[in-house]
Amino acid sequence: MNFKLFKETVVKIDFQESRNEFGHYPFQLATIKNKQNTLCALDLNRLSDIKKVYFDYVNDGSDEIFLSLDFPSTKIINSDHVIVLHYKNKKIIEAVILEYDVVSGEITRESDGLTNDELVKNVLSQFE
């Protein structure tokens, strides 16, 4: 598992029947520890619950962690979006933002999450 493989094969924008639109749920978390991969679907809605699971793996000594989180549109990012994180060596080393159309599910834009706006930086800071 690597960041590109996680982003391209695990992070999916699927039709969510309960919302009658496309989205990314459940969130996904993958870890590498001692060359063993673990993949988890996070059926959680609160960021605090996701952070607890994430930090359980950090504190358990995972070598790398990949995490995907879905967010609604904001004043800064005008479309729904997924933030994909890569943790290694006790810090976030990669992050991308995948903006998507809720009607078609098409990814409309991909940008570097490490150099983006204050909103994204705030989310990232909660996982370091």
2-11 pLDDT tens trace: 999 999 999 9
Where do the domains of the chain lie? 3-125
Q: Can you tell me the mean pLDDT for 44-59?
A: 92
pLDDT for the residue 122? 83
d(C-alpha 3, C-alpha 93), whole Å: 10
Dihedral of alpha carbons 117, 44, 33, 1, sign: negative
**16-28 pLDDT per residue, tens:** 999 999 999 999 9
Residue 120 pLDDT grade (very low, low, confident, very high; cuts 50, 70, 90): confident
pLDDT of the residue at 125 = 86
The pTM (predicted TM-score) of the whole model is 0.91
